[in-house]
Amino acid sequence: MSLPEIDLMVYPDQCDAYGHLNQAAFLVLFERARWDMFAAGPGLDVFQRAGVWPAVRRASVDYLAQVFPGDVLRFQQTLTHLGRTSFTLRQSARRVRDDALVATAEFVFVCLGQNGKPTLVPAIITGLLEEMPEGEAVRRITVNGVGLAVDVVGDGAAILFIHGYPLDRTIWRHQMEQLNGWRRIAPDLRGMGQSDAPDLGYSMTTYADDLAALLDSLGVESVVLCGLSMGGYVAFEFLRRYRERVRALILMDTRAENDSPEGRRTRDAAAQAARDHGARAVADAMLPKLFARETADLVGEPWRQVERMILATPVPGIVGALAAMRDRPDSTALLESLDELPALIVVGEHDRITPLASAHRMAAALAESQLEIISDAGHLSSVERPAATTAVLGKFLAALPPIGD
């Protein structure tokens, strides 16, 4: 049993004096879409049959684009977390005429029994998660009180992929599919992708501690650590705290230097823009700098994929990551101390955020490093030139000494 998509029309009475869909109406539409989906799927009485009532415990809605009367919105929902008595639904609404993502929402429900007390989630709901096609079911692991979404595929020695800001684990799609012979682990950092986004608690230390706890949960002792951009900054902190768990390092489109005073002010201004205008402000500022070419038309699908990722990032996750990046220390001395660690540095030929000069400086600081330049790529090599990126990673991984040597 899967949950069908639902199309709903926006009516004039749901809009404010300026013609925009008003906030209360958006919540109503999300709720209507949810019940319509149940009606078209397991039945409107799905909870009644099980003798439970799903009460909303927490709701968050990110408004991403304007909506006017006459627009048709397509609602999708995914069951992203299942507890004993609670479950989380993530919903998204896209405008049908141009496929623009106009809002995302996350609702945490607690199941109440007839006596009003929390009771077990009914089997019909747990079945929804189990019956999602392979690859769609999101695995979630709670670490340090925060639920992280994580993909784990393959067998062999482990490689941990850490995405950049404000992105998610799907930037590693090609590498996750292709690097056979390795146990590939790609989580969403707290505050991004489908992981929980607490209001507070973001720093390079918490990101690194989350990853160490995630590896503990998966029974993984040591990894090849592969971080892109902010993922590289998290990798530095992981090395400071858990050096013994890292058998090789891949630094992609990142830099060892910390922020200048001006860079820190820019982080604060970006955080304010995100608070005031949501993820759209971040997407508009970042997208033209991320790829080898500067417009959506020239870049094509990778642009749209990354735009969707940024727009779906919760504002607390954006603000938290900006503060964590602003406050990170310089890591040049750390790299100089990693005498015997095999390291690969990968950089896009046209990376404008962490340019070639930064990659060369990291290569000079790391004793055992090699540098690969991905031609015709900007800051997001793994998304823009996935096959070329996977090829250089595969070559580096194949040359590593087997575990235990």
Please, what is the angle between helix 279-290 and helix 315-326, to 10°?
A: 60
Tell me which of 141, 325, 365, 383 binds ligand MLT, using CB under 6 A. Answer: 325
8 A C-beta contact, residue 187 and residue 169:
yes
Which lies closer to ligand MLT via its Cβ, residue 45 or residue 284?
Answer: 284
Out of 218, 273, 334, 353, point to the residue binding ligand MLT (CB under 6 A). 353
Contacts of residue 155, defined as CB under 8 A and 6 or more positions apart, other chains included, come to: 181, 183
Nearest to ligand MLT of 230, 338 (CB atom): 230
Residue whose C-alpha is closest to residue 44's, from 136, 129, 124, 126: 124
* Identity of residue 303: W
Q: How many residues lie near ligand MLT (CB under 6 A)?
A: 6
By CB neighbour count within 10 A (0-12 exposed, 13-18 middle, 19+ buried), where does 254 fall?
buried
Per-residue contact string for residues 272-311; x = within reach of ligand MLT by CB under 6 A: ----------------------------------------
Site for ligand MLT in 217-256 (CB under 6 A): 229-230
Q: What is the closest distance, in whole angstroms, from the C-beta atom of residue 218 to ligand MLT in the complex?
A: 24
State which residue, 34 or 350, has the beta carbon closest to ligand MLT: 350
Question: Judged by CB, which is closer to ligand MLT: 114, or 260?
Answer: 260
CA gap 216, 220 in Å, rounded: 6
In the bound complex, what is the minimum distance in angstroms from residue 347's beta carbon to ligand MLT? 13
Output the smallest distance, CB 21 to ligand MLT, in A.
32
Q: By three-state DSSP, how is residue 282 classified?
A: helix
Q: How far apart are CA 25 and CA 89, in angstroms?
A: 19
Q: Which of residues 150-179 bind ligand MLT (CB under 6 A)?
A: 164-165
Nearest-approach distance from CB 164 to ligand MLT, in angstroms: 3
Distance CA 68, CA 81 (A): 32
Considering the complex, state which of residue 67 and residue 226 has its C-beta at the smaller distance from ligand MLT: 226
Of the pair 107, 291, the CB lying nearest ligand MLT is at 291
The backbone torsions φ and ψ at residue 77, rounded to the nearest 5 degrees and listed phi first, read -140, 145
Q: Using CB under 6 A, list all residues that contact ligand MLT.
A: 164-165, 229-230, 325, 353
